[in-house]
Amino acid sequence: MKKSVGILTFHASHNYGSMLQAHALQQAVINLGHDCEIINFRTRRQKRLYPRPSVRDPFFMLKLAKVFPGYKKALSIKYNLFEDFLHSDCRLAAKEYSSLDELQKWPPAYDCYISGSDQIWNTACFDFDWAYFLPFGSNVRRIAYAPSMGAFPDYDVPCDNAVRISSLLCSYDFVSVREQGTADRLRAFTGESYPLMPDPTMLMTSSYWENVAGNTPLVNGRYIFLYSPNYNKAVFDAAKVVSDKTGMRIVVSQANRQQLEQWGEDKSFIYSVESGPKEFLNLCRHAYAVIGYSFHLAVFSILFRKPFHILNGMRDSRVHDLLVSTGFEARSFTSVRNLELIGHDMDDFSSTIEQIAILRQKGISWLDAALE
């Protein structure tokens, strides 16, 4: 029977993975034949985390004028591309909520609420809110689809939260989580075992994402795509080593002061900061190889069949499970010393794509049953 569904997740975070997983989960629900909107929950705290860009430091501006004269304009374009994707490629509810109190006073009217995916249950996230456990509304089916407690759940979600989380989970009709670390943490809190489901981005096929990314490369020629949500020197050091060995330049979609001060004048790097979610997919799809520190970078590298390396992947609860389930444990590196030469590294993705298809069907079937 057709249901009306509202999804609550980090849909408005100006983070590639967050926005793309929100889009994917909504598409998956729509593909199952339901009406689906994203509950437009944007807290003031989250908006402070992703403000309209501004660069006011005069000394930094002088540095930028030399190494990246278009930086300020690029940041504005990037911000607008995220907002455009949010309003054009996601179906948002008309009302915007800024707090849990507002959700409780005026609960959105749907047959089902879905919380998930992404790190919405990671209490250490700057934009975490208890609203992501759906403590509002009545006579509504509550479903958790693959929420995460982050890379290090035992550390990020302290035991002080156990009673509150256990109580909130009692109101759910169906609960799944994204990785084993989250399942283990919840079992410690509740005594219950919850099934693992793939990230929503994996519910869409490679061809779907290729279509979103586009067939025309934004950057011509062979290049290494580097992505880390925050500046991580180890990732840049590793990319530089690979670049020196292969002769390929490094395309970067993120830039901040610390990064530009160290690497801004290095001609190995090409800055493609004017990149929203679609542009991120394009840079990943058309890269010769990929390197970084990001769960969703690893997901899309696999979906696009790109040789990739992820810093400390096997130490991260989220990335660990992804690499193990797809047979790419060797794609994790801990330092430049153990980084293989990826310029000649062409993995066989055939068995992995079959495994992804199995995981996709598992997630879709579970979601279908929960919404039935």
Q: DSSP letters of 281-318?
A: HHHHHT-SEEEES-HHHHHHHHHTT--EEEETGGGSHH
The pLDDT of residue 70 is 83
The tokens for 110 are 């749907």
Q: Are 271 and 252 in contact (CB under 8 A)?
A: yes
| DSSP E strands, 19-98 | 35-41, 92-97
In whole angstroms, give the CA distance from residue 364 to residue 201. 12
pLDDT above 70 covers a percentage of the chain that reads 95
Is residue 214 predicted with pLDDT exceeding 90?
yes
Q: What is the pLDDT of residue 358?
A: 96
Query: What is the model's pLDDT at position 340?
Result: 58
Q: Mind listing the domains of the chain with CATH numbers? A: 4-51+82-203+358-371 (3.40.50.2000), 213-349 (3.40.50.2000)
Q: Strand 249-252's sheet: what is its strand order?
A: 269-271, 249-252, 223-227, 289-292, 308-311, 332-333
pLDDT at 187: 97
Is residue 359 predicted with pLDDT exceeding 80?
yes
Which residues, in sequence order, are CB contacts of 241 under 8 Å at separation 6+? 336, 339
What was the pLDDT predicted at 344? 43
Query: What confidence tens digit (pLDDT) does each residue in 45-75 have?
Result: 999 999 888 777 776 776 676 777 888 888 8
Instruction: Report residue 343's pLDDT band, with 50, 70 and 90 as the boundaries.
Output: very low
Sheet containing strand 92-97, edge to edge, reads 92-97, 35-41, 4-8, 112-115, 141-144, 174-175
Structure tokens at 255: 């830039």
Mean pLDDT of 232-250: 92
Residue-wise pLDDT tens digits, 142-185: 999 999 999 999 999 999 999 999 999 999 999 999 999 999 99
Prediction pTM value: 0.95
Please report the pLDDT score of residue 17 as a whole number.
97
Q: Which pLDDT value is given to residue 345?
A: 52
Q: What's the CA gap between 259 and 186, in Å, rounded?
A: 37
